């Protein structure tokens, strides 16, 4: 029996613009998905197309037990984490000897298949490797880890990444002279943020600007606006939508002392708050009997 876990992720900067080749920064966060795999001729498994695909691709049969600290459809990369953890546990339980790189690539291929072509390699890469990653087109570069104090606020409004990506594509088609400079500005903010990673006040201001630009692209939602404003009013350095928007989650960058207050303010606005920070581990073995 092998148990592996893999972390969720947030976009610190650059979502949507990354679809058009601009740079973005994603970071693994502490909440994880835990997956136990056991060799079995009569497998019992949760009804998940991601998990079924993992077994099909790896060519083995086994039972699965999943425990998740991540809500699905909340923009925190739970499907990528389930896929990475399942592949890693299969790899271990059946002694297949695949590398972390192979697991990340296979997880991306599975997400792409299950999501009918609509997946970005960001979630699976970050979940497999952990840490902070700069994504530009096909290239991914690991950034030095920063101990940022984050509060994630889940609006509890489920969103569709595919729908939001399509909405931005339409805006770009109908108003290219407006939408393209917004996407360019988001890319510039990402580059500016890399230089200020250890300066949370400045970084918070960049997050506020990134949020305004995402709203200008039309991916805001009353629920995310409420949480962002509540986080700022209760002492966050800055706050923004994270991921595709249209609901989903927000992140707030906080002084250490303000974390609980910010989390309380988010909960008071009917959001679900998670106090978290960077996860540098990526996929890891929890247990092997």
Residues designated catalytic: 123
DSSP bridge pairs for 103: none
Rounded least distance, CB 244 to ligand PMV, Å: 3
Whether the CB-CB separation of 240 and 110 falls below 8 Å is answered with no
Question: Alpha carbon of 42 to those of 1, 61, 127: distances in Å?
Answer: 15, 8, 30
Contact 282, 28 (CB under 8 A): yes
Site string for ligand PMV, 151-190 (x = CB under 6 A): ----------x---x-------------------------
Q: For ligand PMV, give the closer residue by CB, 60 or 162.
A: 162
Contacting residues for 11 by C-beta, under 8 A, at least 6 apart: 24, 25, 26, 122, 242, 243
Query: Of the listed pieces 15-23, 63-71, 205-213, 281-289, which binds ligand PMV according to CB under 6 A?
Result: 15-23
Contacts with ligand PMV: how many residues (CB under 6 A)? 13
- C-beta of 162: minimal distance to ligand PMV in Å? 9
- Minimal distance, residue 60 CB to ligand PMV, in Å: 29
Binding mask 117-146 for ligand PMV (x = CB under 6 A): ---x-x------------------------
Q: Which is nearer to ligand PMV, 83 or 91 (CB)?
A: 83
Single residue of 2, 6, 12, 18 touching ligand PMV by CB under 6 A: 18
CB of 204 to ligand PMV, least distance (A): 21
Residues 207 to 266 in contact with ligand PMV, rule: CB under 6 A: 243-244, 248
> Shortest gap between Cβ of 72 and ligand PMV (angstroms)?
11
129 token code pair: 């490797």
List the one residue out of 62, 124, 50, 48 whose CA is nearest residue 93.
62
In three-state secondary structure terms, 196 is coil
Judged by beta carbon, residue 7 or residue 62, the one nearer ligand PMV is 7
Q: What string marks each residue from 67 to 106 as x (binds ligand PMV by CB under 6 A) or -? A: --------x-x-----------------------------
| Dihedral Cα 240, 121, 188, 196, nearest 10 deg | 70
Between 60 and 165, CB nearer to ligand PMV: 165
CA neighbor of 65 nearest in space, from 142, 3, 143, 138: 3
Cβ-count burial of 201 within 10 angstroms (0-12 exposed, 13-18 middle, 19+ buried)? Answer: exposed
Separation between Cα atoms, residue 225 and residue 200, nearest integer Å: 21
CA distance 27 to 76: 10
Asked if residue 266 lies in contact with residue 153, where contact means CB atoms within 8 angstroms, the answer is yes
- Candidate ranges 13-21, 147-155, 220-228, 263-271; the one touching ligand PMV (CB under 6 A): 13-21
**109 is a contact residue toward ligand PMV (CB under 6 A):** no
Interaction site with ligand PMV (CB under 6 A): 15-16, 18-19, 75, 77, 120, 122, 161, 165, 243-244, 248
């Amino acid at each position: 029996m092998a148990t592996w876990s893999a972390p969720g992720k947030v976009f610190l900067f650059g979502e949507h613009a990354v679809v058009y080749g601009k740079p973005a920064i994603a970071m693994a966060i502490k909440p994880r998905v835990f997956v136990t795999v056991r060799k079995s001729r009569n497998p019992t498994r949760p009804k998940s197309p991601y998990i079924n695909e993992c077994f099909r691709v790896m060519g083995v049969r086994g039972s699965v037990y999943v425990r998740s600290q991540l809500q699905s459809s909340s923009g925190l990369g739970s499907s990528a984490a389930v896929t990475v953890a399942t592949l890693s546990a299969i790899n271990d339980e059946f002694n297949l000897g695949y590398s972390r790189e192979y697991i990340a690539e296979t997880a991306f291929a599975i997400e792409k298949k299950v999501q009918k072509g609509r997946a970005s390699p960001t979630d699976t890469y970050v979940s497999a490797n952990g840490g902070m990653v700069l994504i530009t087109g096909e290239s991914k570069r690991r950034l030095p880890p920063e101990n940022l104090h984050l509060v994630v606020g889940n609006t509890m409004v489920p969103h569709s990444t595919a729908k939001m990506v399509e909405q931005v594509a339409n805006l770009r088609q109908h108003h290219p002279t407006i939408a393209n400079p917004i996407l360019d500005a988001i890319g510039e903010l990402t580059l500016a943020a890399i230089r200020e990673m250890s300066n949370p006040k400045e970084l918070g201001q960049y997050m506020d600007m990134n949020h305004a630009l995402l709203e200008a692209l039309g991916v805001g939602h009353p629920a995310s606006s409420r949480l962002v404003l509540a986080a700022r009013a209760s002492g966050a350095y800055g706050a923004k939508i994270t991921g595709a928007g249209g609901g989903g989650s927000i992140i707030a960058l906080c002084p250490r002392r303000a974390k609980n207050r910010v989390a309380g303010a988010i909960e008071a606005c009917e959001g679900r708050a998670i106090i978290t920070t960077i996860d540098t581990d990526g996929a890891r073995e929890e247990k092997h009997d």
